[in-house]
Amino acid sequence: MYYLYHYLLGTRKRMLSILTIVLIYLLSGVAKAQENPLELKIHHATISVRNADSLSFWYVNTLGFKVLKTLANDERRLVMVGIPGFRIDLLQMKNSFRPAFQSVSAPKHTLTQGIRHLVFEPGNFDQTYDYLVSKGVVFFGQKPEGKPGTNQTIYFKDPEGNILELIKEH
DSSP string, 47-67: EE-S-HHHHHHHHHHHH--EE
Distance, CA of 167 to CA of 119 (rounded, Å): 7
pTM summary value = 0.75
The answer for residues whose C-beta is within 8 angstroms of residue 43's C-beta and 6 or more apart is: 87
82-140: per-residue pLDDT in tens? 999 999 999 999 999 988 878 888 888 888 888 889 999 999 999 999 999 999 999 99
Distance CA 112, CA 100 (A): 11
The region of weakest confidence among 74-78, 91-95, 143-147, 165-169 is 143-147
CB 167 within 8 A of CB 120: yes
Query: Are residues 124 and 103 in contact, defined by beta-carbon separation less than 8 angstroms?
Result: no
The rounded distance, in Å, linking the Cα atoms of 170 and 166 is: 13
Query: How large is the average pLDDT for residues 54-70?
Result: 98
pLDDT at residue 55 greater than cutoff 60: yes
